[in-house]
Amino acid sequence: MTEFSSFAVHVPDADLEPDPLDPAQIVAGTPEVSGTVLWESPDGTQIRGIWQITPGVVTDTEANELFVVVSGRATIDVEGGSTFDVGPGDACVLRAGDRTTWTVHETLRKAYHITLS
């Protein structure tokens, strides 16, 4: 198992790298995505990071994820399920396989933990 040191990151100011969307995911606007992986388990099943998206409407198929919104606002519509309005301080849990539509009202930044298995 790979060792790592404990650390802290100021999420609002963290540097992010562009992570282009698949054009098929864009429903409206010109949203841009960026992010950074802070830690990944040696087997690749656990990922922790920071993700950001600018205003627009996009679709996605979710992983098993817990995230906390640091800034911005969005409405997340889960196909066949609930609709969530999220903003700063909100925690959200998404199930693997959920098909979602994100309407991003203000550039949204979140800290996340994803479990892939």
58 in Cβ contact with 46 (< 8 Å) = no
Rounded distance between C-alpha atoms, residue 37 and residue 18, angstroms: 12
pLDDT in tens, 45-97: 999 999 999 999 999 999 999 999 999 999 999 999 999 999 999 999 999 99
pTM reported for the whole predicted model: 0.92
For the segment(s) 18-115, the CATH number from 2.40.160.40, 2.60.40.10, 3.40.50.720, 2.60.120.10 is 2.60.120.10
pLDDT in tens, 20-57: 999 999 999 999 999 999 999 999 999 999 999 999 99
Spans of all domains in the chain: 18-115
Phi, psi of 90 (to 5 degrees): -80, 135
Report which DSSP code applies to 55: S
DSSP symbols for 2-39: ---------GGG---EE-PPPGGGEEES---EEEEEEE
Q: Is the model's pLDDT at 1 over the cut of 50? A: no
